[in-house]
Homo-oligomer: A and B are copies of this chain.
Amino acid sequence: MQEDMDTVPQSRSGDITLLEKMRRQITNGRYGPGDLIPELTLAEEFGVSRTPIREALKQLQNEGLVEIRPRVGTFVRQPTRREIVELFELKESLEGLAAGLLARRGRVRELETLERNLMDSDRAAAEGDSQAYAELVHEFHWTLVRGADNRKLYETYERLMNQLAYHRIVVNTVARPERLKASDNEHHSVVEAIKSKDALDAEFTMRNHVRASSQAALRPIDEPQPARPGSIDDDAQENRRVEGGELRAC
Question: Per-position contact with B for A76-89: 1 when CB-CB < 8 Å, else 0?
Answer: 00000001001101
A197 within 8 A of B: no
Chain B residues with Cβ below 8 Å from A55 are: 54-55, 58
Question: A101 at interface (Cβ–Cβ under 8 A)?
Answer: yes
- Contacting residues of chain A (86-101) with chain B, CB-CB under 8 angstroms: 86-87, 89-90, 93-94, 96-97, 101
Instruction: Given A93-B97, A97-B90, answer yes or no on A156-B156 (Cβ-Cβ < 8 Å).
Output: yes
B163, A152: Cβ atoms under 8 Å?
A: yes
Please pick, from B12, B59, B83, B97, the residue contacting A151 in the complex, using a CB distance under 8 A: B83
Closest B residue by C-beta to A101: B89
Residues of B within 8 A of A67 (CB): 10-11
Nearest chain B CB to A238 CB, angstrom units: 11
Query: How many A residues touch B, CB cutoff 8 Å?
Result: 34
For A14, give the chain B residue with the smallest CB separation.
B70
Is A109 engaged at the interface, CB distance under 8 Å to the other chain? Answer: no
Name the residue on B nearest A163 (C-beta): B152
Chain B residues in 8 Å Cβ range of A69 = 11
Q: Which of B10, B54, B87 contacts A61 (CB 8 A)?
A: B10
Chain A, residues 234-248, CB within 8 Å of chain B (1/0): the string is 000000000000000
Q: Which residues of B contact A93 (CB under 8 A)?
A: 93-94, 96-97
Known: A83-B152, A151-B83, A163-B152. A97 touches B89 (CB 8 A): yes
Are A90 and B11 within 8 A (Cβ)? no
- A153: interface (CB < 8 Å): yes
Contact assessment for A150 and B70 in the assembled complex, using a CB-CB cutoff below 8 Å? no
Task: Please tell me which one of the listed residues B70, B83, B156 contacts residue A13 in the complex, with CB atoms under 8 A apart.
Answer: B70
Contact of A150 among B13, B58, B86, B97 (CB under 8 A): B86
Q: List 17 A-B contacts (CB under 8 A).
A: A10-B67, A11-B67, A11-B70, A14-B70, A51-B51, A54-B55, A55-B58, A58-B58, A62-B62, A86-B153, A87-B152, A89-B153, A93-B93, A93-B96, A93-B97, A152-B163, A156-B156
* Besides the known contacts A62-B62, A89-B97, A156-B160, 20 further A-B residue pairs in the complex with CB atoms under 8 A apart: A10-B61, A10-B62, A11-B68, A12-B68, A51-B51, A54-B55, A55-B58, A83-B151, A86-B150, A86-B151, A86-B153, A87-B152, A90-B150, A90-B153, A90-B156, A93-B94, A93-B96, A93-B97, A152-B160, A152-B163
